[in-house]
Amino acid sequence: MFEFKQGNKENEINIKYNENWIIESEYPLDVLSSAQIKMLIEDAVINKWLTEMSDQSATSVLDNINPVIVENTTSKFGVSADKQNISMFMITGIYFAMLSFSTMIANEVVYEKTSRVLELVLTSINTTTHYLSKMIIGWLTVLIQLGLVGIEVALAVITRNYYDQGLGLIKMLQKYGLIKLEANTFNEFIVALDINANLIWVLFVSLIYLLLGMVIIQTIMVCISSLINSIEESSAIQAPVYLVLLVVYYIALTLNSPIRLSEGIGYYLSLSPIFSMLFMPMRLLLLKASIYEIGFGILTSLIALVITTYYGAYIYNIGILGGLNMKKSNKV
């Protein structure tokens, strides 16, 4: 699993010995890598003492058979575990909320097409206008629902703060291990959490990535729904798309560590359209991405959005008019 080379490099995992064994890395190691390296060090130490047992007393062997190993992280960037948990709850909630809204808009298209409502609507507007209206309605629905959820959460916090300053809620979250900070009131929790401009910036950029990714998915779902001619077909065609989105979510959770997101597939997916709506927010919570990387990721998502919207209108036109023409020809 590892290749050992002599010397010291800033961006690599370095093993040092200074009274205790020290594993030095730029970012915190994941649990598996940390356990593997510790096991290798322990095996090396044990083998050393076993080979020299003839020259050492049994006491010395027992004293050194289990070395003390310390992990140091050289990176100064990072957020606390509580900040990561709260931010991930928000990102996950917004992700699945937007996914449900995309499903709702797609099902509306299927319903209008199968119930002959579109035949009446398209007498007043063309398919491109109807397509764009569906996209705008879906976008506004997401924004309005997010605003309403924010108002509801704010009212709940104000109510709890009025009765016990949030003591009961905080104790419950601490009891179930959702937060680790020692606090008794909302004010103490906010102070201990140390919410700064950097975290607000991360959440703002994450929201932009989530919105862009979901609009692209919504465009794809509406185009697919336009090709459906019956309610029975909708689940068979839409279900694989939802499974793919769930797979993307679980892949993001699997790669949710500084090392995996700083290089390799996790790094490239954080800059790719659709994938970036989950990978980039997770990366921003754990690492410090440059403004150029953030801008490049947003640019690629915007380009993908323009392409899917442009060609989506063409596909939507074929799907809607093709289905309606087929119905009319069957009637004849």
Which structure tokens are listed for 279? Answer: 């990978």
Q: Is the pTM of this model over 0.75?
A: no
Specify if 158 maps to a domain.
Answer: yes
Q: Are residues 95 and 143 both part of a single domain?
A: yes
Q: What is the pLDDT of residues 66-102, one digit of tens each?
A: 667 777 766 655 555 655 666 667 667 767 766 776 6
What stretch of H or E contains 193? Answer: helix 186-193
Compute how many other C-beta atoms are within 10 angstroms of the C-beta atom of residue 194. Answer: 13
For residue 181, pLDDT over 60 is answered with: yes
Residue 21 has pLDDT above 60, yes or no: yes
Say whether both 221 and 306 belong to one domain: yes
Residues 214 and 125 in one domain: yes
Last residue of a domain, one of 73, 97, 124: 73
Do 266 and 135 belong together in one domain? yes
Mean pLDDT over all residues of the chain?
76
61 and 43 both lie in a single domain: yes
Q: Is residue 1 one of the residues assigned to a domain?
A: no
Whether residue 100 sits in one domain with residue 163: yes
Q: Residue 325: what pLDDT?
A: 45
The pLDDT tens digits of the residues spanning 147-161 come to 888 888 888 888 888
* Pair of tokens at residue 173: 């979250």
Write the CA distances from 19 to 32, 64, 73, 183, 232, integer angstroms. Answer: 25, 11, 18, 37, 70
- Alpha-carbon gap, residue 221 to 241, rounded angstroms: 8
Q: Is residue 44 part of a domain?
A: yes
Beta bridge partners of 25: 73
Number of structural domains (the chain) is 2
Are residues 288 and 222 located together in one domain of the fold? yes
**Which pLDDT score is estimated for 78?**
53
Last residue of a domain, one of 73, 94, 118: 73
Give residue 64's domain range: 14-73
131 and 184, same structural domain? yes
